[in-house]
Amino acid sequence: MLRNAPGSDRPVDEIKSRAKALRRHMIRMSRHIGQGYIAQGLGIADVLAALYFHELRHDPANPAWAERDRFLLSTGHYSIALWAALAEAGVIPIDELASYGLDESRLPMSTLDTTPGVEIIGGSLGHGPGQAVGMALGQRLRGTGARIFVEFSDGELQEGSTWEALMAGASFGLDNLVALVDCNGIQADGAIVIDIEPVAAKLAAFGWDAAEIDGNDVAAILDALHEARTPNGRPKAIVLRTLPGCGVPAIARREKAHFVRVEPDEWDVFARELEAQP
């Protein structure tokens, strides 16, 4: 029996509560090892909450169910957010989150497809969109009705393979494919170095139905996901303007960084700030 399938309602308060739970998990996970890709994880939490608790067809008791919808995390270093979502959804035990980033853990800092609920290895960036196109085409040929959701970043839009995949998705008319483009403005060593704007307009020019929203506005996310269900022969793209560190002001105020180091006395501050958020 499916625990989750797309609904017609827009349960904003429930999804906000789930997103806060994901952020709570992420703070605890990072605290165990004193570091991590916490800022990006906090930024994408609202989107993952909307996906796993409202939009995806999936069965937590059977992550490999053949007709499931697929979520591909191209930015594998966002794994901290994916592990939180999979645990909150019941795919992996919540207690296992304490092993994040440790030797021989199933929950490394970048995703491996040996972990239940993970569709692709996300270590080398820029490969998610191409794999998503192949999966969407395969599911259409099989007639399963499954949809493919692929998250990738603005940094990956600097790679040619990403644009080749976008062209292919439109050429094949893959309206079972939804791209979630996390535009948080950072890459490995600081700010994005190549001007990639206007992202939504470029995606539309490549043949995608493209919308741009605040990626931390749950109501806007749910509305965009509902719109993306339309079977009109065009792949869908949702450009998400997310804030690294969203939900924890002390992190959000920092200089935007790819990898955040945290002093031992800061974790209690982070936890208090998160709980103080409405």
Residue from 50, 64, 47, 44 nearest 4 by CA: 50
CA pair distance 14, 8, nearest whole angstrom: 14
All residues at 6 or more sequence positions from 3 whose CB lies less than 8 Å from its CB, including other chains: 58, 59, 60, 61, 89, 90
- What does the pLDDT average to over 3-26? 86
Cβ atoms of 154 and 192 closer than 8 Å: yes
Statement: residue 224 has pLDDT above 90: yes
Q: pLDDT tens digit string along 78-107?
A: 999 999 999 999 999 999 999 999 999 999
Average pLDDT of the residues of the chain:
91
> How crowded is residue 192: how many other Cβ atoms within 10 Å of its Cβ?
17
Statement: residue 256 has pLDDT above 80: no
- What does the pLDDT average to over 7-17? 87
Statement: residue 236 has pLDDT above 60: yes
CATH 3.90.870.10 for domain 12-276, yes or no, is no
- What does the pLDDT average to over 212-236? 96
pLDDT at site 1: 41
